[in-house]
């Protein structure tokens, strides 16, 4: 297993795998309400079996080269994660995403972690376009997209029902030439 330092604050990025199920569920339990504000992950991973199934599904996506899942650890405690929800090397398109519990919020952890993912995808795998899809009301996640130099492509209006209401989804992206130029 590897760990990538995300800075001098004790933050690390590591693969998040099925053997982390208990730690992952404890993390979800700590952050369930906060994480669940905009994404279904906290509702989907609500016990050991569902958490293991989620982690196993991403292990299978990784094996099939169709996605990736990484945890963010802060001083040895899992506080969030980043992922390639979709990853299509043949088309050169991937969709990144994230979540955090309150203990990890406001530290720039997601921005730093997603930079690592995009660097790898663009430089090592030839990904041309990295997308970021976010509920229009999720200002912290929109701010991550902005800090990453992404461009807002548009809004999918009322496209996603969540907790009994339809929400808009903003689509942000960065293209490989833009990513290279920004570095």
31 and 101 Cβ atoms separated by less than 8 Å: yes
* pLDDT score, position 2: 85
Which CATH number is 139's domain given? 3.40.630.30
pLDDT by residue for the chain (183 residues), tens only, comes to 689 999 889 999 999 999 999 999 999 999 999 999 999 999 999 999 999 999 999 999 999 999 999 999 999 999 999 999 999 999 999 999 999 999 999 999 999 999 999 999 999 999 999 999 999 999 999 999 999 999 999 999 999 888 889 999 999 999 999 999 998
User: What confidence score (pLDDT) does residue 1 get?
Assistant: 62
Whether residue 12 contacts residue 73, with contact meaning beta carbons closer than 8 Å, is answered with yes
Which residue intervals of the chain are DSSP H helices? 21-35, 41-44, 48-63, 109-125, 139-147, 176-182
Question: What does pTM read for this prediction?
Answer: 0.94
How many domains does the chain contain in total? 1
Domain that holds residue 124: 4-182
What does the pLDDT read at residue 64? Answer: 97
């Amino acid at each position: 297993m590897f760990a990538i330092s995300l800075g001098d604050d004790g933050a690390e990025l590591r693969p998040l795998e099925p053997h982390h199920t208990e730690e992952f569920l404890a993390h979800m339990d700590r952050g369930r309400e906060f994480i669940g504000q905009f994404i279904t992950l906290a509702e989907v991973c609500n016990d050991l079996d569902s958490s293991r199934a989620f982690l196993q599904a991403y292990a299978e996506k990784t094996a099939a080269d169709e996605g990736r899942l990484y945890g963010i650890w802060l001083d040895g405690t899992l506080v969030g994660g980043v992922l390639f929800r979709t990853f299509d090397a043949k088309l050169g398109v991937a969709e990144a995403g994230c979540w955090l519990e309150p203990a990890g919020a406001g530290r720039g952890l997601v921005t730093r972690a997603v930079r690592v993912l995009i660097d790898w995808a663009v430089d090592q795998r030839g990904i041309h376009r990295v997308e970021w899809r976010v509920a229009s009301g999720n200002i912290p996640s929109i701010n991550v997209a902005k800090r990453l130099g992404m461009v807002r492509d548009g809004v999918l209006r009322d496209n996603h029902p969540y907790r009994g209401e339809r929400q808009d989804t903003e689509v942000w992206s960065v293209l490989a030439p833009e990513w290279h130029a920004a570095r």
